[in-house]
């Protein structure tokens, strides 16, 4: 029985990715900036990864792909760089349910010039509120995640990207929870796009950022050597980058049957509701990631549930890892209008690519 239901926090490397990572670590550990043939091999691997990812995202210019240490770094770069380029007096608009790695850098770099886009009670960004913000304020950048890490609710990023295009406003999407779970679609047509390998069976500490066409300066990225077109200094972690791409290739070759997977998750929720009718499933009536189920239990604090489930061999979460570590109620639930009492009863359950119907049934 696979009792791991915290995949939105992190995933183990897929076994074949782990093997690939070990092989590449042994074979191409040289510094890609060095000048002998072995190093050239590492450089070739790096650039092939960049080209593959650009192609995967439907991006013409591979140099728009910058490899980073993960989604947190990518998101930080977005807000420091856009602030540095900010035409006088413009503002940024971010959704109220963004991950802290978007909210905190937005506040740090844009201070009081951050507009929060509200969400509806199901956790979907309110498009009419966004339109009002765009009409009434001079906005330079809109940042809305593709899928929420706590509720799994899919955000209307296609519409938002289109609206931003019409308004001449840059669009950033933190697609950390989307990659590997759902087809990439038009995500690559965002000016800025964030991804992180450890959320889709790749190694930790590696991710990417798509930057706007022609971008030749990234303020806030670490400076140092001339790596990544001088956009981000530091020796590239080629084996990890290669393993990240390998994980995406695996998922592209064998994509999850998301409808079938969602049915297994739905069956779990139906079973729970039969047993305990007072349970509330958050975002049940809107589109969600097939692996995620956020429930509000009718009694007992969520930590008590988490502990009891852990004793039984099931790992679940009380919210995002970042929020739960702080012991604060989640800003995501707060912005969805959950009461303080409800927030203390939330369990986030996030299955994996190999979670079976039996695993869900075991958890139920």
Rule CB under 6 A: which residues touch ligand PLP?
70-72, 99, 101, 145, 149, 174, 176-177, 196, 207, 320
Rg from Cα positions in the chain: 21
* Separation between Cα atoms, residue 131 and residue 250, nearest integer Å: 39
Is the alpha carbon torsion for 76, 79, 82, 84 positive or negative? negative
Check if the beta carbon of residue 68 is closer than 8 Å to that of residue 237.
Answer: no
* Separation between Cα atoms, residue 7 and residue 50, nearest integer Å: 26
Q: Hunting for tokens 């303020």 — which residue is that?
A: 219
* Separation between Cα atoms, residue 25 and residue 39, nearest integer Å: 13
Which residue, 72 or 140, is less far from ligand PLP as judged by CB?
Answer: 72
Query: In this structure, what token pair is assigned to residue 266?
Result: 């739905």
Q: In the bound complex, which residue of the shown chain has the CB atom lying closest to ligand PLP?
A: 70
Please report how close the Cβ of residue 172 comes to ligand PLP at its closest, in angstroms: 12
Q: Which residue intervals of 68-179 are DSSP H helices?
A: 71-84, 100-110, 127-136, 157-167
Which residue, 161 or 172, is less far from ligand PLP as judged by CB?
Answer: 172
Please report how close the Cβ of residue 176 comes to ligand PLP at its closest, in angstroms: 4
* Separation between Cα atoms, residue 233 and residue 229, nearest integer Å: 9
Q: Can 322 be counted among the known catalytic residues?
A: yes
Please report how close the Cβ of residue 251 comes to ligand PLP at its closest, in angstroms: 17
Please report how close the Cβ of residue 26 comes to ligand PLP at its closest, in angstroms: 25
Please report how close the Cβ of residue 220 comes to ligand PLP at its closest, in angstroms: 15
Residue 69, helix vs strand vs coil: coil
Render the burial of 329-360: b for 16+ CB within 10 Å, e for the rest.
bbbbbebbebeeebbbbbbbbbbbbebeeebb
E strand segments, the chain: 65-68, 91-95, 114-117, 139-143, 170-174, 192-196, 207-210, 280-282, 292-296, 346-350
Q: Which of 49, 164, 215, 322 is catalytic?
A: 322
Which residue, 113 or 177, is less far from ligand PLP as judged by CB?
Answer: 177
Check if the beta carbon of residue 258 is closer than 8 Å to that of residue 120.
Answer: no
Query: In this structure, what token pair is assigned to residue 199?
Result: 């959320």
Please report how close the Cβ of residue 145 comes to ligand PLP at its closest, in angstroms: 5
Which residue, 131 or 204, is less far from ligand PLP as judged by CB?
Answer: 204
Which residue, 200 or 272, is less far from ligand PLP as judged by CB?
Answer: 200
Please report how close the Cβ of residue 280 comes to ligand PLP at its closest, in angstroms: 22
Which residue, 134 or 152, is less far from ligand PLP as judged by CB?
Answer: 152
How many whole angstroms from its chain centre is CA 186?
16
Which residue, 52 or 179, is less far from ligand PLP as judged by CB?
Answer: 179
Q: Give the catalytic positions in this structure.
A: 322
């Amino acid at each position: 029985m696979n009792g791991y239901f915290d995949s939105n926090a992190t995933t183990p490397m897929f076994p074949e990715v782990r093997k690939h990572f070990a092989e590449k670590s042994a074979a191409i550990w040289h510094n890609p900036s060095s000048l002998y043939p072995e190093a050239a091999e590492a450089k070739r691997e790096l650039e092939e990864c960049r080209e593959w990812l650009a192609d995967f995202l439907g991006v013409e210019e591979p140099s728009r792909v910058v490899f980073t240490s993960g989604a947190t770094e990518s998101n930080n770069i977005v807000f420091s760089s856009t602030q540095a380029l900010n035409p006088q007096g413009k503002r940024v608009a971010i959704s109220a349910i963004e991950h802290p790695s978007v909210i905190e850098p937005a506040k740090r770099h844009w201070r009081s010039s951050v507009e929060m886009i509200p969400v509806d009670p199901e956790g979907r960004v309110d498009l009419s509120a966004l339109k009002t913000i765009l009409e009434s304020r001079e906005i330079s950048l809109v940042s809305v995640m593709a899928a929420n890490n706590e509720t799994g609710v899919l955000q209307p990023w296609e519409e938002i990207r289109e609206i931003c295009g019409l308004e001449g406003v840059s669009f950033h999407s933190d697609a950390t929870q989307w990659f590997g779970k759902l087809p990439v679609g038009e995500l690559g047509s965002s000016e800025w796009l964030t991804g992180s390998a450890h959320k889709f069976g790749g190694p930790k500490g590696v991710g990417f950022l798509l930057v706007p066409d022609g971008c030749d300066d990234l303020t806030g990225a670490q400076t140092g050597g001339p790596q990544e077109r001088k956009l981000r200094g530091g020796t590239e972690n080629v084996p990890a980058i290669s393993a990240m791409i390998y994980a995406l290739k695996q998922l592209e070759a064998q994509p999850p049957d998301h409808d079938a997977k969602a049915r297994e998750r739905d069956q779990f929720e139906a079973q729970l509701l039969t047993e305990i009718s007072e349970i509330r499933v958050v975002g049940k009536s809107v589109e969600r990631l097939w692996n995620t189920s956020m429930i509000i239990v009718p009694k007992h604090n969520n930590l008590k549930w988490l502990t009891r489930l852990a004793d039984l061999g099931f790992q679940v979460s009380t919210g995002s890892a970042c929020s739960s570590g702080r012991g604060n109620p989640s800003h995501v639930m707060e912005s969805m209008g959950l009461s303080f009492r409800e927030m203390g009863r939330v369990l986030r359950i996030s299955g994996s690519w190999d979670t079976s119907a039996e695993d869900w049934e075991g958890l139920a």
